[in-house]
Amino acid sequence: MGAALACVEEGHCPRGTTCTDGVCRAAGAAPHLGEGEGEGEGEGEGEGEGEGEGEGEGEGEGEGEGEGEGEGEGEGEGEGEAPGTPIVELSDYFDDAVIGGDWLVSEIGDCTVGEGASLQMSLPATGPSLCSVATFTEWDLRDGAVTLRVDPITTYEPDTTYTLAIVPNGGGRAQIGFEGGGFRSGIAGALVDSAYAPEPYYWRIRESGGTLYFESSMDNATWSGESSVVPSFSIRRVHVLIEARNGSTSSRSIGIGTGGVWGE
């Protein structure tokens, strides 16, 4: 409730109020008896007549509405869309000779994708070409990680790439991958180069405290950091993508094997 309007004489008060005990009050209102009692009476009568009490009521409503709307909007914006499936539920070792139904397979150019004892992507001698598998499922990567087990890449061309990536629906991409003999990791458009030695078997994208970490390991136990970044997009719903490609300068066929991908 706002403060009552002080007055000295009748002419100081708005129409419909009188100067009583040094305060403008609605005609017929009881004298001021104290803060608690005055507020109760002011709310009842001030809505239609009393400027002082009316101001109080308007202020009260404004604060209530503002607080409610602010909390509602803030909570909605902060939480965003509903999270996807927890990443820990992702597990495929590509060892049953059948590519699972959750994978969308793409083959562009003469590249081929197959599964036997592992996932095999075969790049032709002439490019450009691209092979990929991507999950239909959208995964929640918060406080989790996705790991790829890759056979060492020892035969390649300068434009040979092999990548583990997470791709949100709204755009953007974060990845760790091999390119022409080295590692490249980070956010698409701002990738960081690092050494691919000694041909680590395991690649990982991990999230913690709002930061994405791109890591490699020889034994899936001791990890080396390749780069890290704070993403500009949400990781609450992302697709997992495995991709191989070559360019127009390739001159030999290249096969790359993957022994599994799983979440933690």
Q: How far apart are CA 82 and CA 146, in angstroms?
A: 20
H-helix or E-strand spanning residue 262: strand 254-263
Closest CA to 212 of 175, 178, 242: 175
pLDDT of residue 20: 64
Backbone torsions φ then ψ of 132, nearest 5 degrees: -160, 155
pLDDT tens series, the chain, 264 aa: 333 444 544 555 555 556 665 545 555 443 433 333 333 333 434 343 434 444 434 444 444 444 444 444 433 334 568 999 999 999 999 999 999 999 999 999 999 999 999 999 999 998 899 999 999 999 999 999 999 999 999 999 999 999 999 999 888 999 999 999 999 999 999 999 999 988 889 999 999 999 999 999 999 999 999 999 999 999 999 999 999 999 988 888 999 999 999 999
What's the chain's Rg over C-alpha atoms? 33
Q: Are 46 and 26 in contact (CB under 8 A)?
A: yes
Calculate helix-pair angle for 35-46, 51-79, nearest 10 degrees: 90
Confidence at residue 70, expressed as pLDDT on a 0 to 100 scale: 40
pLDDT value at residue 14: 52
Q: How far is CA 152 from the centre of its chain?
A: 32
The tokens describing 15, both together, are 């129409």
Structural domains in the chain, CATH included, are 10-79 (no CATH), 85-263 (2.60.120.200)
pLDDT of residue 167: 97
Record the tokens describing residue 65, joined without a space: 């509405």
